[in-house]
Amino acid sequence: MGSNATYAANIDNLTRLWKAMGVTTLPPEAPATLNISESWPHRCWLDWSARADELVHLANTVTALPQRGIVPVWPWPDGGVEALQSALAHHGFTERSALTAMVLPLDGVDAEWPQDEATELITTSDGIHTWTELCSQAFGYAIDETVTQRLGGVADLDFFLARVDGVAAATALTYKTGDTIGIHQVGVPKEFRGQGVAKRLMDHVMAHCRASGCRQVTLQASKAGAGIYRKIGFEDQFTIRNYQRVAG
């Protein structure tokens, strides 16, 4: 669903966040748009604007990618996806996860989302430390606090922490790029699931998105979370498939 422009806005928001987390590039012979995360989130990606020949070039050099590197594959408008997927499979990369890119246009949406007194905007280093530990628990992998502390100084980026009886229970962050605001890292550890904390958090975050003045909200949903976002009003756009090399 949607247009190529809305697809591009979703990927642009996501990849600009990855770049804010810390990024480098491969040597000059690699495509100019090939970006490599310095640590978490361990992504190796080509921007939405990548040409088909750049995808083919990456396909021919996937063995040079970092061992922990995760390669996201989305429907680049210029083509070349099949060659890249074939090369990834040939060199021992398997699909680690699949996410659904989603969008909610705010123009003409009448829904009102209530702010939650138990959800707070995090602005301190100690708060980001708590956020990082909780988000790591929710997603089941270690998040590099050096990265999250760096994000604390990024303009138009906000951390949110929801609480249950005063205890930190859920995380999210938003990042504004142009007239798009993206929602990322919505996480609830197992011990707090089924208590309505995710809905409270999302209501609060959506109220923040509405107040941002942006035209649309984007996110990338797991299979488990997609249904929740559709109930809010998000529409499916396309699938992002994440590939990672099998440990030898």
CATH of 119-214, one of 3.40.50.300, 3.40.630.30, 3.90.190.20, 3.40.190.290: 3.40.630.30
Q: For the chain, give the percent of residues with pLDDT over 70.
A: 96
Amino acid at 165: D
Backbone angles phi, psi at 33, to 5 degrees: -90, 5
Q: What is the mean pLDDT of residues 110-123?
A: 93
Distance separating alpha carbons of residues 65 and 69, to the nearest angstrom: 6
16 has pLDDT over 60: yes
How confident is residue 158, by pLDDT bands cut at 50, 70 and 90?
A: very high
Q: What is the mean pLDDT of residues 87-94?
A: 95
Distance separating alpha carbons of residues 59 and 54, to the nearest angstrom: 8
- Whether pTM exceeds 0.85: yes
Q: How far is CA 30 from CA 53, 161, 196, in A?
A: 11, 40, 47
How confident is residue 59, by pLDDT bands cut at 50, 70 and 90?
A: very high
Which token pair is 155?
Answer: 């303009």
Query: Cα Rg for the chain, rounded, in angstroms?
Result: 18
Antiparallel, parallel or unpaired: β 34-37 and 167-177: unpaired
**Domain limits of the chain?**
4-101+240-245, 119-214
